[in-house]
Amino acid sequence: MKRTRRSGFSLVEVLIALTILGLLTINIAMVSRTGSQAAESDLFRQLLDTEMDLTLDRIKLALMSASADNVYPQVPAPASESHIDFSTSLGVQGGVHVMGDPERIQWTPATAEKGGVFWTQSLGLPDERQIQWSRNVPILQNLETANERDDNDNGLVDEPGLSLHVEHAEDRELQVFVNLTVSKTDSRGQVVPRSRQVNITCRN
């Protein structure tokens, strides 16, 4: 009589396999967790950068067409302001240079710690229009504290999260310097700030 062979795994083999699988799974989980945290932070920074770049692009396009004579206030460094009033050129009609309705870019507080950047046209008038360009702008620039000192070595003192100051170039062109900080708290409770400065020449 022939003996039949039974297939399968013994208990010891299964236990060893499960142990090895468990260790592998823990390792994979740790690596993927670190990777996903890094990806999440990176994505978080990218989104903040996108918000900052979009806001700065809008400020740039608005101020490029502004007339230097209509920009107010014209505050030179180390002081700065968190708003700017201007008018942009609509072209020439009948030989006369036509300027658009007055516009304003300003930082408006929303909470005790941060606010938003708003663009307003015809401020205070019946046809006033307002668009919010950013909502995560803190009260002060990154690394700056209100102590009448230039803490972040950028030539400005106690500058706000949206700070604007001007310089007259050698040929008398008006240059507006915009410093913008956006910041948000990530899932781990850390505040992530992103800052950039752009320099815009008023073409009119």
Distance CA 108, CA 117 (A): 6
User: Total residues at the site for another protein (CB under 8 A)?
Assistant: 25
Rounded (5°) CA angle 131-133-135:
110
Query: Is 198:83 a contact under the CB 8 Å cutoff?
Result: no
What are the backbone dihedrals phi and psi of residue 159, each rounded to the nearest 5 degrees, phi first? -75, 140
Pair 81, 176: CB distance under 8 Å: no
At a CB cut-off of 8 Å and minimum separation 6, what does 64 contact?
Answer: 200, 201, 202, 203
69 contacts another protein (rule: CB under 8 A) = yes
Nearer to another protein, 24 or 61 (CB): 61
Distance CA 28, CA 107 (A): 46
Closest approach of Cβ 131 to another protein, in Å? 17
Q: Which of 91, 124, 126, 189 binds another protein (CB under 8 A)?
A: 91
180 binds another protein (CB under 8 A): no
Is the preceding omega at residue 73 within 30 degrees of 0, hence cis? yes
Which region among 102-110, 127-135, 159-167, 169-177 touches another protein (by CB under 8 A)? 169-177
Does residue 65 bind another protein (CB under 8 A)?
yes
Q: Does 64 bind another protein (CB under 8 A)?
A: yes
Per CB under 8 A, the segment of 26-34, 67-75, 79-87, 158-166 that binds another protein is: 67-75
**Residues engaged in binding another protein (CB under 8 A):** 4, 7, 53, 57, 61, 64-65, 68-69, 74, 88-92, 95, 97-98, 168, 170-172, 174, 203-204
